Structure formats: C-alpha cells, structure tokens
Amino acid sequence: MSTAVSDNDTSSGPQQAGPKPPPVPEGSRTVTLKIQRFNPEFDEEPRWESYDVPALSTDRLLNLLHYVKWYLDGTLAFRRSCAHGVCGSDAMQINGVNRLACKVLMKDMLAPQGKPTVITIAPIKGLPVQKDLYVDMEPFFEAFKAIKPYLITYGNEPSKERIQSPADRERFDDTTKCILCACCTTSCPVYWADGSYFGPAAIVNAHRFIFDSRDQGAEERLDILNDAEGVWRCRTTFNCTDACPRGIQVTKAIQEVKRALLFKRV
Amino acid sequence: MSTTASPATGTGAAQGARRSRRRGTFYKGDPGMWSWVAHRITGVLTFFFLFAHVLDTALVRVSPNAYDEVIATYKTPLVNLIEVGLVGAVLYHALNGIRVMLVDFWAKGPKYQRPMLWVILGVWVLVMIPGTYYMLERTVTEMFGG
C-alpha cells in the first residue's frame, strides 16, 4: 500500500550529496526545513537537522522533502506513495500539527516577502519511530482491525444487491472518506498518553459500519467500543477533527457512537 | 496556517511511556485541546480548594477559637487574590462544563464547539472584570487607603 522512501545504505554520513540538483527555478524562494531525524542504528535520541531548499509557491511540501532526499541527503527516510492525498502514507507533524505532506501547499506556508520561512517537520506522535519520519503503524492498524471494519450480516443473502436509500447512505457518508493516514489518532492527547485507546481512526471506521443500514454488526462493534479503552476515553479535544486531511468530522462521529451507546441500548 | 516554526521545546507529560517515543515536539492542537487542558487545571485547583475548605470548616468542631483564627488569616490581601483566582477557575470550569455537555448531547455541538468556546471565554471576561473589581475593592482601599 505505502512505500517507504528509504534507502538501505548503512553509512551515517551527515550530508550525502546526491545527484547534481536541477537549476533553481525562477521566482523560487529558499525555505528552511527543520526535520527531526532519528536513525535507530546510530542515534540514542532524535536530533534536528535543517536543510535549505528552493521552493515555488506552487510546490507542495512533499516536493521539498523529495528535494532533500534526492539532492541533499539521501539518508532521509519518509513514507509517501500516491503523493496526491489519497493513499494516506505521508502523514507527519508539520509546524506542530498533523498534515499530509502532499496536501500542504507552499503558498500557504511561505512567510511574507523578505522574511525567512522555516518549516518544522517531525514524525507523527504516539507511534514508535522506526527511522526519521516514518513510524511503526502496526498498533494503529491493530486498533482498526479490532473494530471489525467489514460488513457483517446474518441470515440468507439477498438474491440481488442490498438496497439502501440515499438517506440511509447519507447517514454514514462522512466516515467513508477515511484513508487511514493516522493523522487523527496521532493528534489525540489521550492516544499519546495511552496507546491502548482505540483512537479516533478506529472509531471513525466503526461508525462507518454501525450506522450502515445494511450492516448487522452494530451491537458487536458497540460492545467493543463500550470498553474502558473505547469511545469513553475521548475527551473531545477536537485535535482529530482539525488534523483530518479528508475533512471528516471525527469528533462528531465519536460523539454519535457515544450517544448510540447511551440511548439506543439499555 | 502559521508560517513560522513552532517551538520545538516543551515535552508533553504524555511522553516516555513507550520505548522509542520521540521527545521534543510541541503539538499546537485545536483550541478545543487547550480548553480541555484549562478544564483539567481549573478542576484540579478547585479540588484543592475544596480539600482545604473541608479542613478549615471541620476546625469548628475542634475549637471555635482555632476556627476564628484560621478564618482571620483569610482576610489578608494574598488570600483575597487567591479568592479571585478561585472564582476565575470555578467560573471557567462551569462555563466550559456547559460547553462540553452541549458537545456531548447536542447534535450540532461538535460543529459549533469553537464558537461556543469563544462565547464562554467572552462571558468569563465579562463576569471577571466587575467580579475582580468588587472582590478586590476592600483590599485595595485598605492597603492603599482609597
């Protein structure tokens, strides 16, 4: 699904010059990327490194990371795959908030003319860092799998399709947009403090099925989320809603699951 | 979105539980996160006040004189200032509590959480300005001889 843009060389050279950089395009400005680096083979602690990169206002932040990777320091490791905000691979903490690097536009990041632009980039919080900007996503996917993110039905299969009215489809439309990038889950203070909390993404995906009129597994999923590590850990900090690159109203979805537990079942 | 770098200093209390967890990044977060942080802090402060309050009130059972002596110390300017802080903490906690309940039980609560936060902060300021004035009036006149 996602590709780790990493290399296998084991040398820890601080700055390895790659191929000759392309000519700096006209109208570009120099942007400083301050990136948190961590190589488990050599570093005890993460360290910060700064790179000066030419940027056009039409660039995305991902272009700048590529520039670092391809021309300045080939040892930089980060994930990206589609580079168009669909695969959800390049979630990272950019200037203190979780964003997809491929959806952050430089025109929104450049400081006013004459002032230097410094962009801080760190891996998403709460998941173990494997190298530089990429983290072990396994705990995140475990929580996702635990809420049974697939259609559950009982009884005979219908001979044709499972019909659903537009209104019923609308009920869970927002939560179908999730791309599992982990921006929301790793923006959650509760998740940072306690990794056993299911986290917003898992609840969003549970919501997608709980409120699907075709699905019959709502009770099972609500039972799972009624757990001590379930929806009740949510403190409505709204960091997840702010972080979601798909604009999903994450906190609203979590609140709907809470209310389903409170009122629909006795 | 801000174009300046966020301070890369503060270490979250959340860190350290698991191995290989990075330190040193400061998450800016939604205003909702900071309202929650303030809610926690004001809640704990109010709890400590109640703890002290139960103890001083219980003193009356020990001896009315001791009780009077302790209550007399409450008339000092410092305690007066702390009282203003207590009112501020309780007021914030109460107003934000209403906001949190609306977020929990009103279907449109999550949508309007930020406007609701600005409203409660506005109410807080509006109440605290005259409140502080009347609470500190006596202390100020006594100290500086109005």
Going by DSSP bridges, is the β-strand pair A78-79/A4-5 parallel, antiparallel, or unpaired?
A: antiparallel
Residue A222 CB: number of other CB atoms within 10 A?
19
State ipTM. Answer: 0.84
Q: Which of A237, A244, A249 to mutate to test the interface with B (most CBs of B within 10 A)?
A: A237
Q: What is the pTM of this model?
A: 0.84
Residues of A in contact with B4 (CB under 8 A): 95, 111, 118
Domain with CATH 3.10.20.30 in chain A: 29-134
Residues of A in contact with B20 (CB under 8 A): 40, 128-129
Residue B69 tokens, joined: 């002596």
Residues A89 and A241: their CA atoms lie apart, in Å, by 18
Cβ-based interface (< 8 Å): residues of B facing A = 1-6, 8, 12-15, 17-33, 36, 100, 103-105, 109-111, 113-114
- Would the CB atoms of B36 and A194 count as touching at under 8 Å? no
Contact criterion met (CB below 8 Å) for A109 and A65: no
Residue A180 falls in which region: left (phi positive, over 0), alpha (psi -120 to 50) or beta: left
Q: Please give the backbone phi and psi of residue A40, each rounded to the nearest 5 degrees, phi first.
A: -60, -20
What's the confidence (pLDDT) of residue A106? 95
Share of chain A above pLDDT 70, in %: 92
Residues A38 and A47: their CA atoms lie apart, in Å, by 6
Residues of B in contact with A45 (CB under 8 A): 23
Domain with CATH 1.10.1060.10 in chain A: 137-263
Average pLDDT of span A223-240: 93
A137-263 architecture in CATH?
Orthogonal Bundle (1.10)
Contact criterion met (CB below 8 Å) for A101 and A95: no
Mean pLDDT (chain A, rounded) = 90
CA distance A236 to chain B (A): 7
Contact criterion met (CB below 8 Å) for A230 and A70: no
Alpha helices in chain A (DSSP H): 61-67, 106-109, 138-146, 166-171, 189-193, 200-210, 218-225, 239-243, 250-259
Average pLDDT of span A23-37: 92
User: Per-residue pLDDT tens for B49-65?
Assistant: 999 999 989 998 989 99
* Nearby residues of B88 by Cβ (< 8 Å), 6 or more positions away: B42, B124, B128
What is the longest distance spanned by two Cα atoms in chain B? Answer: 63
- Residue A204's nearest CA partner among A262, A148, A250 is A250
Average pLDDT of span B90-94: 97
Alpha helices in A68-216 (DSSP H): 106-109, 138-146, 166-171, 189-193, 200-210
Average pLDDT of span A146-174: 93
What's the confidence (pLDDT) of residue B73? 87
Residues of A in contact with B10 (CB under 8 A): none
Average pLDDT of span B95-122: 96
Residue A147 CB: number of other CB atoms within 10 A?
25
Least confidently predicted of A53-67, A73-87, B24-38: B24-38
The superfamily CATH assigns to domain A29-134 is Beta-grasp domain (3.10.20.30)
Name the pLDDT band for A17 (thresholds 50, 70, 90).
low
Domains of chain B (ranges, CATH numbers) = 30-144 (1.20.1300.10)
Name the pLDDT band for A16 (thresholds 50, 70, 90).
low
**Looking at the predicted structure, is the pLDDT value of residue B97 above 80?**
yes
Average pLDDT of span A143-170: 93
**Looking at the predicted structure, is the pLDDT value of residue A244 above 60?**
yes
